[in-house]
Every structure is written in C-alpha cells, then in structure tokens.
Amino acid sequence: MDEMQQALFDAPPPPKLPVYVPEEFPFFHGAQSMSETGFIASDWVSTLSTVDKNLRELAIELAARSTQGEVILPEPKVMFRALTLPLAKVKVLIIGQDPYPTPGHANGLAFAANKNVRPLPRSLNNIYTELHTDLGITPAPHPDLSAWQDQGVLLLNQVLTVAAGHAAAHQKIGWSPVLEAILTAINDRATPPVSILWGNHAQKHSALLSNTPQIRTAHPSPLSASRGFFGSKPFSETNRLLSLQGQEPINWSLPLS
C-alpha cells in the first residue's frame, strides 16, 4: 500500500448529514400540537390553525428536499423559535428575510445567530454600529439577541427555512400564507406593536401592518446600510413610540459576555 492509499484508508468518514421525514418537523402535526409540545406560545394557536394545511405541506416539501440531499437550516426544533414569544407580549416587530444559510448560524430569530458564531453576521454588525450611534450602547461581541426577545421583540423572518449555502432558496416554497397569518394577528391586536421594517423585502408587508406604528429605513446589509440605515436611529424612535402608547421602552443593551 503506497502513501496515498494509506492516507485514503486513514481519512475519517464524511460527516453524516441530517435527513428528515415530515413528522420530524413540529409543524407537520399542526398548531395545537406545536403549542402542546412547547414549540410556540399557546396564544398563537388560533392564528396558525388557519394555516395548518400549509404547514403540513411545508413539512412534506422540506422532507422531500432533505431526502434529495438538501441541507435544511435551521434545525426543525427552532424553526418557530420566534413564536415562543406570546402574541400578547409582542411590543416590537422586526422583520428579517430568511435564516442565515451558513450551517451553525441560524437559530430561529431574525438577524440573530448562535452565541458562539464569529465573526458576527455583517448585517448584525451594522445593526450594532447603529445601536451605538443611536443610544451609545456598547456593541455585544456575540450575535445572541434572545435578551431582546425576552422583552417583547419579535424577531421574525419572512421565510423560516433555507438551504445551506443558498440564501433565499425557500422564498417560494409556501411560507407566504404563514407569514400573512402572523402579521394579520399582530395588526389586529388592541395595542399593535411598533413595526421595524428594514429594506424593501420587509416594507412590502406594510399594508398588512397598517394599524402598527412603522419605522421604515434601508436594510442594514453592507449593500444598503449607507443609503439610509446608518443615522436612522430606529432604537430610540421605537422607544419613543412605545412611550406614546404608555408602554415601557426596550432596554436594547445586550449581555457583553
């Protein structure tokens, strides 16, 4: 056996990629089951029950793609993480596009990533830069935004899944009715939250959020941040609008460790 053959023999096997069946996606079983198993807050059930058929079809489609070798992100158990925040407690809505397509990054919250991800996603880095300019808050060294969610910030992507390495790959597979149901429920609240709509993709949903105070600026991505995102002061403006509603402002600072 020559050295090349020995090297091939000693090489570790490639990592085993997850292959899903429809039942492994919590939403395959419907909104009521998602609530009972802790994947969404209970007051989202009436909203998502109206799209149970769509959710089931999405689970079947994602499973088929997985069987064909597509790596689906994020993992199923966190796809609806944003809706673990109860509808009744939503004070601010921030709409993203779709999850990060890099394995290990997406965690179910728009613009956020798993805490150990480095370097920071570029859009989030720009968000932190504007946060510092706006409120003087020291940027966190990590991309974990769960402290915002804990205070009532709904970090919602328009599309809740993506193919690894292919941004926007799932924009046309059937998530639109689910998003529309969620936004309609938010808009119909007695005290609608403040909506932060960064970029054209988010702003195309402004009509569904007609009852909410809206902040509309350029997207924080490196391609557009300098064309109206930087200097827009969305965080202080959000807190001003919350105060006008008689609500407590958001503490936008994040743990530094």
Question: What residues are labeled active site?
Answer: 98
What tokens does 57 get?
């079809």
CA distance 231 to 155: 21
Nearest to 71 by CA among 13, 18, 28, 14: 18
CA distance 10 to 17: 21
**Who's near 110: CB < 8 A, 6+ residues apart?**
82, 94, 95, 96, 97, 155, 156, 157
What tokens does 127 get?
């968000």
Bond into 103 cis (ω within 30): no
